[in-house]
Amino acid sequence: MDDFIRGEIDAEIIEDDDSSIYLSIGDLMSGLLMFFALLFITALLQLAQKDVPKRVVIGNVVGQMKSNNINVKVNLETGDVSIQSLADIFPHLACK
């Protein structure tokens, strides 16, 4: 009978040891999740900062073209610049 009680106590101790292992593994996983979340946010911020100089360059190009009386159209979503008439740039190619 004494062995039966001792076996139950040993089983409880083993279960307590397993639960502490699961808690520490869970803590490691949550730390790893936070690391990847910070890495993702950092990558998004870097991509957003790369977009700003592109908009400045497109704005400068469009400003120069409009100051030279060249009719341009800009797609704000993609940054595509379309020249409405090539005769504005190459007058010698215009139809007479």
So where are the chain's domains? Answer: 2-93
Buried b (16+ CB within 10 A) or exposed e, 14-45: eeeeeeeeeeeeeeeeeeeeeeeeeeeeeeee
Q: In this predicted structure, what is the pLDDT of residue 67?
A: 85
* Element at 83 (helix H, strand E): strand 81-83
Find the mean pLDDT for residues 31-56: 88
Tens digit of each residue's pLDDT (9 = 90 or more) over 24-38: 899 999 999 999 999
Chain centre distance of CA 76: 20
The predicted pLDDT at position 16 comes to 64
Average pLDDT over residues 34-57: 87
pLDDT of 63 strictly over 60:
yes
Q: State the pLDDT confidence band at 58, using cuts at 50, 70 and 90.
A: confident
Cα 25–chain centre separation: 28
